[in-house]
Amino acid sequence: MRLHILGICGTFMGGIAALARELGHEVEGSDANVYPPMSTQLERLGITLKKGYAAEHLQPAPDLVVVGNALSRGNPAIEHMLDARLRYVSGPQWLGETLLADRRVLAVAGTHGKTTTTSLLAWILESAGRDPGFLVGGVPANFGVSARLGPGFGIRDSGFAQASDGAGSRSSESPISNPQSPRNPPADFVIEADEYDTAFFDKRSKFVHYRPTVAILNNLEYDHADIFPDVAAIQRQFHHLVRTVPGNGRLIVNAEDTRLAEVLAMGCWSPADTFGIDAGDWRARLLAKDGSAFVVSHRGRELGEARWSLTGRHNVMNALAAIAAAHAVGVEIERALPALAAFRNVARRMELVGEQAGVRVYDDFAHHPTAIATTLAGLRAKVGDARILVGMEPRSNSMRMGAHADELAPSLADADAVVFLQRPELPWDAAKVVDALGGRGRAAPSVDALVAGLVAQARPGDHVVFMSNGGFEDAPRRFFAAWVKANA
């Protein structure tokens, strides 16, 4: 079958393309913006990329058009697709019906940490010999691809069995079993479960198509102001996800999040394990202030110590969620904890671009004030009194709309200096953020000006972090090149 994917360079749709190609389909796609890491992955897979959304890209007609949620009515490709009566489907529906219906799905939902937690969970299962399939909203360094099928198909009929590591004895705490023999283990599929809407013709959240056996509810805050009027609307979508988890499945829920507690209060029909540093069934005791070492316990019993390269309280929470979900499908804690030491995070999650002349440069996928604050707090705990400089692009729909404007300055509390990209088309005045930074901030009208401003301020010993959930015109690497040149 020949598939044409609209919006193919998005992290999710790029993963769909990789899975479709692995299934043996002929795959091509179009996108308005083509940039790494997804464009690099797709080109490596031999998938043809077409820039823009011209109607001609759908001629001759493909067998099926898979539509990304970034496209809407009025788009030339969409209008041609409808006028020509081409067969079309959303990415989540294609995935749910083509692949996930025959897998034991472990879904990772939450406002923050989905990509890291999904990658962690897939890596823990991989380290335990499970060979999971997965789809991640990025490229996990341990795998080098954002998606893969994993082992063969087969309907998964789950039940419960006794936990093997002694972490729990009640049926609600025991791992989800599978009737297949050890020679033919369960076909697990780990997926990043986004609450964003599915497509222009399906305004439900993507994750309602996945029907997971295990669902992580990592956290819940207001986001996606372009589609959700308030946090209650997001909570309703999360409850729709809860409704799809079977009674013999498992929910893994952040015990420190009151909004998630309100979601479960709407109705819950599956056993739930909770996690947190200060509350929950699964807990962590920090051995290092920056979160690089911690002890994991379950219901008061300490099970082992973890040491890894990630930092920040938020990443410790992500690790607890992944460990709990892996345990729910029978992975012993003795297999899960050592996997953390070998875990390498996803591209653009505090990715070290380079170090030169005493300056370390990072590329971070930032989309929300809470994510910004926790990331910088983790870096601050690691670097102590060293200066932290931030280049920021308000790139997400909510950021561009100004939905988080009042929270941006407080989220940058751990930064010593901030250069804020205020493109001419930004519909709100960034001066309110810059002014609130009290002399630590300035605005720049272009990426060129932003990079130049940071180069002028930087000095040996600094940590320079670029934060954006878009391409940012390759600002981190442009800064690094300029810094190297200036200090040659």
Does the pLDDT at position 182 exceed 80? no
Q: If we measure between CA atoms, which residue out of 269, 259, 217 comes closest to residue 107?
A: 217
Q: Cα(75)–Cα(445) distance, rounded to whole angstroms?
A: 29
Does the pLDDT at position 171 exceed 50? no
Please give the pLDDT value at position 66. 98
Does the pLDDT at position 156 exceed 50? no
Q: How far is CA 455 from CA 221, 481, 485, in A?
A: 34, 10, 10
Q: Cα(445)–Cα(55) distance, rounded to whole angstroms?
A: 34
Give CA torsion, residues 17, 18, 19, 21, to 10 deg. Answer: 80
Task: Record the tokens describing residue 308, joined without a space.
Answer: 């890894």
Please give the pLDDT value at position 50. 93
**In the chain, % of residues over pLDDT 70:** 91
Across 132-146, average pLDDT: 91
Q: If we measure between CA atoms, which residue out of 79, 27, 85, 29 comes closest to residue 52?
A: 29
Q: Are 304 and 334 in contact (CB under 8 A)?
A: yes
Q: Are 303 and 296 in contact (CB under 8 A)?
A: yes
Does the pLDDT at position 140 exceed 50? yes
Q: Write the DSSP symbol of residue 276.
A: E
Across 47-62, average pLDDT: 95
State the pairing for strand pair 26-31/2-6: parallel
Within 267-413, residue ranges assigned H as helices are 313-328, 333-341, 369-383, 397-401, 405-411
Q: Cα(464)–Cα(323) distance, rounded to whole angstroms?
A: 32
Q: Which of 43-52, 84-93, 167-176 has the highest mean pLDDT?
A: 84-93
Per-residue pLDDT reduced to its tens digit, 373-400: 988 998 998 899 999 999 999 877 667 6
- Please name each of the domains of the chain with its CATH number: 2-91 (3.40.50.720), 99-341 (3.40.1190.10), 351-486 (3.90.190.20)
How many CB atoms within 10 Å of residue 135?
28
Q: Cα(149)–Cα(164) distance, rounded to whole angstroms?
A: 27
Q: Are 80 and 18 in contact (CB under 8 A)?
A: no
Assign 392 to helix, strand or coil.
strand
Q: Cα(138)–Cα(116) distance, rounded to whole angstroms?
A: 9
For the whole prediction, is pTM greater than 0.85?
A: no
